[in-house]
Amino acid sequence: HGDSSQVTGNTGWMFQMFLGYRHVILDAFAGSWIEIAVNRALGADVGSDVYMDYAFVMEPDLVSIGDNTSINKYSALSPHQYTASAVEVAALNIGRNCTLGSNTTVRGRDIVEDHTETEAMTATLIGTHLNGGQWSGYPCKKVNVAPSVPPILPTPLWYAVLCYPVSAILGLFWFVVLSYDRYLRVSRSKVDTAPTMAVPTEFCGSFTFQTGTCTFEKSGWKSAVRCLYMARGTYVESRDWNPWWNWASYYWSFDSNLLVGRGRVQLGWWSIPLSILSASLERDGEDWVWSHRWFSGQPIQVGKMEKQDMV
């Protein structure tokens, strides 16, 4: 019968769900590495970095799950299906980088390709070919050609404080300094000087930025490693007083095409860890988009640097 076969009565694996497997293993250890280890011990081919949370795996030795796949709560992986005269069993293969939403049901002879996502309460017809993208409903239908991309959540502040206590103290110190400087403007005359060296043409000229202008031409450039050093107080001239630009120095590292730069920020003598703050510059034609990422979260656009026409 090819990849499927028929047996009379019930398959032996089906009794697992009503014995100790369901009420001991799943109830006690759902969502942990123990659930995955038990399914592997029962014959399932489970890849690396797989997440399973109370998944009903009916015949584990017929199930294959690829790397980096998430099987969410109460999903059923059911290689068997009932016919009028017997129970048919067939292999069930789930690809890499897939996500099965809560209460999803997939069956034997289904093909779940790489990069496939099912929404909650999705179920397939026997022999459905899920060829990537996002699927929903019963019988499931493709609703998007690409799986959804969840937002990157920042590290909770309390966790960052526990992990980086010294940086937390220094961050509080600089928060007080910047708040104090915002009103008294003591950093106006404190400007570092960067080593002068010709920057590439992509950085030449003046750019509008927030309520003022920004320039790279006072920065230091090291062509051998494609690094740009922007010393504090040398790159932004703003009509609105913002002490950040007078205290923060940036160290940028660019790709070979000078399209994207990743940056580290330094306040005074404190080099801020990348897990707390990282910066990015992305070229958009002749313009640049400047972004910050706080606590490894979603990039937040600081501003777009639009190149000014030469007079």
- Could you report the per-residue pLDDT of 198-232, keeping only the tens digit for each? 788 888 888 988 878 888 888 889 888 899 999 98
What pLDDT is recorded for position 21?
63
**Is the pLDDT confidence value at 11 over 80?**
no
54-68, 127-141, 192-206, 282-296: least confident range = 192-206
pLDDT at 239 exceeding the cut of 90: no
pLDDT at 45: 92
Note the pLDDT of residue 13. Answer: 59
Q: Which residues of 6-34 are buried (b: 16+ CB within 10 A; e: fewer)?
A: eeeeebebeebeeeebeeebbeeeeeeee
For the cut 50, the answer to whether the pLDDT of residue 299 exceeds it is yes
Stated pTM of the model: 0.61
Q: 185 pLDDT exceeds 80?
A: no
Residue with the bigger pLDDT between 261 and 22: it is 261
Longest dimension (CA), the chain: 89
* pLDDT in the model for residue 7: 46
- pLDDT for 179 equals 84
How far is it, in rounded angstroms, from Cα 282 to Cα 254?
A: 10
pLDDT for the residue 199? 84
- In the chain, what are the domains? 4-144 (2.160.10.10), 157-307 (no CATH)
In SS3 terms, the chain reads as: CCCEEEECCCCHHHHHHHCHHHHHHHHHHCCCHHHHHHHHHCCCEECCCCEECCCEECCHHHEEECCCCEECCCCEEECEEECCCCEEEECEEECCCCEECCCCEEECCCEECCCEEECCCCECCCCCEECCEEEECCCCEEEECCCCCCCCCCCCHHHHHHHCHHHHHHHHHHHHHHHHHHHHCCCCCCCCCCCCCCCCHHHCCEEEECCEEEECCCCEEECCCCEEEECCCCCEEECCCCHHHHHEEEEEEECCCCCEEEEEEEECCEECCCCCEEEEEEEECCEEEEEEEECCCCCEEEEEEEECCCC
Greater model confidence, 16 or 271: 271
pLDDT at 150: 75
Averaged confidence pLDDT in the chain? 84
Which tens digit of pLDDT belongs to each residue from 143-166? 988 887 777 778 888 888 898 899
Q: Comparing 40-49, 53-62, 233-242, which segment has the lowest mean pLDDT?
A: 233-242
